[in-house]
Structure 1
């Protein structure tokens, strides 16, 4: 017996981590989902729909392209792990090396519309950025800088969310601006707005607490932070404060970091059931 449709699209986004734009694309372009509609035309999803979305996610995590998922839902078969992600990275790298900016932009927009932000960042964008930095050729810097500039412009254009929890982001240590942008993109995938504070001095946060009007603070951890920095700013952090970044593992092992921490913002939301994972309908 089919379960009753009762979940609006933003609630489904909160439960599954798939933003509404991607859910709509899976329905319109690939026929993967068939939600019911209210009298006003709003989508309503059932428990079965949510279970199906999680099956789709399973195949995507294995490296299956979204266009191949429908056939595998009906007839599961072994797949080459990660193949779709490798192909996506190769296409981006080829477009970047050819300085084909129009094609690179189209590929980035296509990927952003079809795949969850967390998967896209971990499996495609971050490894691609590493590959750009490892190019050994006379024009390597030109290729890397132009690709990063386009990625920045493209992802900024995608930060369009206007409702949901609002999180401030602050960079600490040696960390570039692009890290903030990627975190903002990932937060939007969690249906959250964001405010980039750049590399602001944490000591000034209490002075602006009433004016910022945010639901929490995400601190992006870079290199070069010592014990003194953590001790100095211990009293500056708001109650809803989360630390993010791989170097946090090092700072934790040193005993300097004793606040909620994870490698990514998505992991923070899962690990701590963080406030910013709650989406208003």
Structure 2
């Protein structure tokens, strides 16, 4: 059982911390434990309840009415919103619930239904990015367990690989882009999505996966002869390490390079005529 702080609930539900406090005080919506220093502490059940409340609230149900409902009535209304009304606003919250409960069948059912309804690219851009951002923050600080993070990451990774495999082979003589993560970077989901988008748009790609030493790439450039480089940087780098990686990329590879990921968002890109944000190629 996890021990969530109020800021964790705010990240996972999208409800601001001061709103959660107000709902507790005015409606008794949650009854958290408190530490000896009066800091609120929430359990898995508190998080799941608030996720369901958020779904109802975002779909126009007044909080004063929600507070009067039993747990079973809340769940029934959430089920109706998702199953009958076809609400898309519930997708991220329900995915988070499935992750907390380590419920593989529920997670896949929600994801598959959204993909069937809206298409894979739309689902990834509209839901998966938000979901991964929410759990990524908490995984980094240890609130979400590695088991929960690995459970959902591997399902998403499998979905991406299946969607990539469904795309027709691109028949071009020259490789448009080589895709990889730097040495020591093992987060692959964003890179797989870049691969999916580029292949879907008719570019020929060479997917080299995670933790590739730049020197190794340099030694094979004359054989591969790619036009561009695409790199995903998600975690495990200080600002100095990030800058050092870019410097090495410029010296040893010296090709137009498209960079994306939370490290790029955090530290920004240097001004250089062959370094670009990956969104310039694949879109937002």
Equivalences for residues 45-60 of structure 1 within 5 A: none
Cα distance, 1:110–1:193 mapped onto 2, change above 3 Å? farther
Partner of 2:128: 125
Partner of 1:107: 110
C-alpha contact 1:170 1:199 (8 A) present in aligned 2: yes
Which of 172, 175, 179 matches 1:169?
179
Partner of 2:201: 190
Rounded Cα–Cα distance in structure 1 between residues aligned with 2:232 and 2:153: 19
Is 2:280 aligned against 1:267? yes
Cα distance, 1:212–1:141 mapped onto 2, change above 3 Å? same
Equivalences, count: 187
Query: Per the alignment, in what secondary structure is the counterpart of residue 177 of structure 2?
Result: strand
| TM-score normalised per structure 1 | 0.52
Which of 73, 93, 96 matches 2:96?
93
Query: Per the alignment, in what secondary structure is the counterpart of residue 186 of structure 1?
Result: helix
Q: How big is each residue's C-alpha offset from its partner over 1:212-258, in whole Å with a ceiling of 9 and x where there is no partner?
A: 364532122343334443333313225343222354356556x4655
Deviation at 1:171, TM superposition (A): 1.2
Q: Which runs of 5+ in 1 are unaligned?
A: 1-82, 272-281
Query: Per the alignment, in what secondary structure is the counterpart of residue 212 of structure 2?
Result: coil
Deviation at 1:189, TM superposition (A): 4.3
Rounded Cα–Cα distance in structure 1 between residues aligned with 2:145 and 2:219: 44
Cα distance, 1:173–1:235 mapped onto 2, change above 3 Å? same
Query: Per the alignment, in what secondary structure is the counterpart of residue 90 of structure 2?
Result: helix
Answer with 1 or 2: which has the greater Rg. Answer: 2
Aligned-pair Cα RMSD in Å: 3.8
Deviation at 1:200, TM superposition (A): 1.3
Equivalences for residues 141-220 of structure 1 within 5 A: 141-160=146-165, 161-164=167-170, 166-172=176-182, 175=185, 176-192=187-203, 194-197=205-208, 198-212=210-224, 214-220=226-232
C-alpha contact 1:85 1:123 (8 A) present in aligned 2: no
Rounded Cα–Cα distance in structure 1 between residues aligned with 2:243 and 2:223: 30
- Tell which has more relative contact order, 1 or 2 (C-alpha 8 A, sep 6+): 1
C-alpha contact 1:216 1:241 (8 A) present in aligned 2: yes
Rounded Cα–Cα distance in structure 2 between residues aligned with 1:178 and 1:236: 26
Cα distance, 1:143–1:201 mapped onto 2, change above 3 Å? closer
Partner of 2:259: 243
Deviation at 1:173, TM superposition (A): 6.8
Deviation at 1:194, TM superposition (A): 3.7
Query: Per the alignment, in what secondary structure is the counterpart of residue 172 of structure 1?
Result: coil
| TM-score normalised per structure 2 | 0.51
Q: Which runs of 5+ in 2 are unaligned?
A: 1-85
Query: Per the alignment, in what secondary structure is the counterpart of residue 247 of structure 2?
Result: helix
Q: How big is each residue's C-alpha offset from its partner over 1:72-107, in whole Å with a ceiling of 9 and x where there is no partner?
A: xxxxxxxxxxx9553111222233334332332233
Rounded Cα–Cα distance in structure 2 between residues aligned with 1:101 and 1:227: 39
